[in-house]
Amino acid sequence: MGAHVRGGIRHRGGERRVLTADVVVIGGGLGGVAAALAAAESGRSVVLTCAEEDLGGQVTSQLVPALDEHPHVETGGVSASYRRLRDLVRAGYGGIANPGGGWVSRLCFEPQVGAETIGNLLAPHVAAGLLTVITCAAPVDARVHAGLIEAVTLSTGQTVSGEVFCDATELGDLLVLAGAPWVCGSEGSDAHGESLAVEGGPQPRAVQSCTTGFLVEHLPGEDHTVPRPPGYERWRDSQPFTLEIAGWDGRTHRYRMFDDGPDGHPPFWTYRRLREGAVLGGRDLALINWVGNDYADRSLIHEPHRAADGARLLSMAFLHWLQTEAGFPGLRLAAETPGTRGGLARYPYVRESRRLAVPEPVTEHHLRPVPGQVRAAAMPDSVGVAWYHMDIHPRVGHPGSHYADSAPFQIPLLALVAPEPGNLLAAAKNLGATQAAASAYRVHHGEWAVGEAAGTAAAHCVRRSIRPVRLSTRDELPALQQALLARGVPIAWVLDVAPEDPLFAPVQRLAVAGGVRRDSLDVRPDDPPAEADRRALRAVGVHLDRHDINTWADAASTFAEGEGRA
């Protein structure tokens, strides 16, 4: 396989048989891209491998470039690099805020634009010789010696060695190959008392569904009906095929294809529309990723090929239903769309990976709203933030969907560090969390945040010549958190002090320590501390009787100075 060029990146196939780098990132989804970008921007040499043809995972080969995000994403709660990704996507459309006009997200776009954007983000580091990208290369073996990964062998026959490895694969493949402890499916309610867990003991095969999304355009008056696939009637009745869905609020939400639904919901057509023809010119392109083609017959972890084949067949059955029984024969599969396989996603959308088994995983309870507070439970070893509700799709053998509220939450370092091997970090959906908690981290910005934290941590380990297990020590954790802050990565939920503000790092440090009021995500740095602020500041040792503390910003700077002396 020769080298080829996409998005400004030279993708290497079988040119070099042995590659060595400071940091090796196995897996090219959003977590892998963020990890590689962070490590390369830290000055480390990086090899990034990807089993698929294109980098990007959710936004490219899995065909979900309608970003699942939180309500504050336009102003805060994401890193500077994630914001750069979003800005570059919009720049590719001439600055249009939402090129698809889909109402599920503030930013919906076409998969080829996602691939080009990621290529443009990484290209300078490829050109500088810091980053090598290998596509169409899955990990097939790992050599572990004396408790450390020495090298990973790829399906291309190449071998990659490095000091620190990041598993950013879609299904946690490197965890298995390297002998790291892992879990999948539901831990069961007995383990942590989670309401979203399957009742009783562990059920590792109760893995969440996957979905093969597909793109359609609508040509009224024409007939583009696809053949009825085998098993159609069973799926039609058991899914069931419908434009109604059970909502997170406990009500049934009823939709119509091109009109508002009877209870006021906007059209199904614009739900995940990726291209709005009225704005961009030409045709609409709508992504169909819905409960109707949500495949839970087999586990993508345990039976990857059979599950992928089944998910593809289910999507064709749902399309046939939309064209026939729903009455829209003019829906045409957009087979010529770049980045798809005949209009269908080239790979199923992955909702659940194997997860790193750690002594204290993140659970549903860590993410739940805390009475009287706007943030979830504090995590002093935070290396990032995210926010999404806990969203359990149908699991194999357990057909129901389940939701639970969360509050703005953090990413704990200890969820990324493998107990063994000693140089392995989780960098995607595979962090050390229960099925319930991981269902909130899995979305686009959450996976990016986990990957960016892992890549920054890996680079820090190389620079300091330490193993990841040392990162949580009193000497190393503040330095790692400072490296993240220098990248514009928020590690606490504060919305009104942006990464470009000189106060960003002091405010974030004080917030992680617990020195922020509990009833607001804003700190209003130029205001005198209110009584709620003063209580929080006193609790972390800020002496408010000093003559130079007149505002909350003064308190943050004083706290940061004290930390520096410590």
What pLDDT is stored for residue 9 in this prediction? 52
Q: Is residue 344 domain-resident?
A: no
Please tell me the distance from the alpha carbon of residue 558 to that of residue 301, in angstroms, as a whole number. 50
Q: What's residue 242's pLDDT? A: 96
Name 137's Cβ contacts closer than 8 Å, sequence gap at least 6. 13, 49, 50, 51, 154, 155, 156, 158
pLDDT band for 219, please (50, 70, 90 cuts).
very high
Write the single-letter amino acid at 165.
F
First and final C-alpha spacing in the chain: 54
What the block records as the tokens of 399 is 């057909």
Q: Are 540 and 510 in contact (CB under 8 A)?
A: yes
Has residue 515 been placed in a domain? yes
Whether residue 240 has a cis bond before it, omega within 30° of 0: yes
Helix (H, G, I), strand (E, B) or coil at 547: coil
Evaluate if residue 566 carries a pLDDT over 80. Answer: no
What pLDDT does residue 10 have?
Answer: 45
Which position has the higher pLDDT, 56 or 547? 56
d(CA 32, CA 52): 12
Confidence of residue 544 (pLDDT cuts 50, 70, 90): confident
Note the pLDDT tens digit of each residue in 94-124: 999 999 999 999 999 999 999 999 999 999 9
Residues 34 and 157 in one domain: yes
Same domain, 303 and 365: no
Cα three-residue angle 449-455-458, rounded to 5 degrees: 140
Residues 176 and 319 in one domain: no
| Interatomic CA distance for residues 239 and 229, integer angstroms | 15
- What gap in Å lies between CA 57 and CA 72, rounded to an integer? 24
Domain of 328 in residue numbering reads as 210-333
Split at pLDDT 50, 70, 90, the class of 563 is low
Span 406-464, pLDDT tens digits: 999 999 999 999 999 999 999 999 999 999 999 999 999 999 999 999 999 999 999 99
Q: Note whether 236 and 101 are same-domain residues.
A: no
Pick the more confident residue, 247 or 419: 419
Contacts of 316 (CB under 8 A, 6+ apart): 226, 229, 344
Mark whether 176 and 214 lie in a shared domain: no
Look at residue 507 and tell me whether its pLDDT is greater than 80: yes
Cβ-based neighbour number of residue 11 at 10 Å: 24
Query: Do residues 422 and 446 make contact, with C-beta atoms less than 8 angstroms apart?
Result: no
pLDDT band at 565 (very low <50, low <70, confident <90, very high): very low
Give every strand in the sheet of 331-333, ordered side by side. Answer: 273-275, 285-288, 214-218, 331-333
328 shares its domain with 277: yes
Q: Tell whether the torsion through CA atoms of 514, 517, 519 and 525 is positive or negative.
A: negative
* Mean pLDDT along residues 330-338: 96
How many angstroms separate the CA atoms of 522 and 127, rounded?
40
Residues 478 and 508 in one domain: no
| Same domain for 35 and 183 | yes
Per the DSSP assignment, residues forming a β-bridge with 402 are 392
Both structure tokens of 452? 């960016």
Q: Mean pLDDT throughout 497-514?
A: 92
Mean pLDDT of 217-226: 98
Tokens representing 506?
A: 């002091």
Asked whether residue 247 is assigned to any structural domain, the reply reads yes
Q: What are phi and psi of 333, to 5 degrees?
A: -65, 125
- The residue among 169 and 552 whose pLDDT is bigger is 169
Does a structural domain hold residue 233? yes
- Determine the pLDDT at residue 3: 38
Six token digits for residue 559? 């706290």
Whether residue 338 is contained in a domain is answered as no
Res. 15 pLDDT band, cuts 50 70 90: low
* Shared-domain flag, residues 87 and 159: yes
8 — pLDDT class (breaks 50, 70, 90): very low
Q: What is the pTM of this model?
A: 0.95
Asked if the structure places residue 9 within a domain, the reply is yes
Average pLDDT in the chain: 94
pLDDT band at residue 554 under the 50/70/90 scheme: confident
The span from the CA of 223 to the CA of 330, in Å, is: 5
Inside any domain, residue 193: no
Q: Is residue 345 part of a domain?
A: no
Domain check: are 86 and 17 in the same one? yes
**More confident call, 247 vs 520:** 520
Residue showing tokens 């080298």: 3
Which tens digit of pLDDT belongs to each residue from 380-409? 999 999 999 999 999 999 998 999 999 999
326/389 same-domain check:
no
Model pLDDT, residue 515: 86
Q: How many domains does the chain have?
A: 3
Residues 123 and 215 in one domain: no
pLDDT band of 251, cuts 50, 70, 90? confident
Contact yes or no for 185/205 (Cβ under 8 A): yes
**pLDDT tops 80 at residue 248:** no
How far apart are alpha carbons 383 and 402 in whole angstroms? 28
Asked if residue 511 has pLDDT above 70, the reply is yes
Pairing of strands 424-426, 159-167: parallel
What distance in Å separates the CA atoms of residue 425 and residue 467, rounded to the nearest whole number? 10
pLDDT for res 33: 98
* Helix spans in 178-228 (H): 189-192
pLDDT at residue 1 greater than cutoff 50 = no
Per the structure block, which two tokens stand in for 554?
């003064």
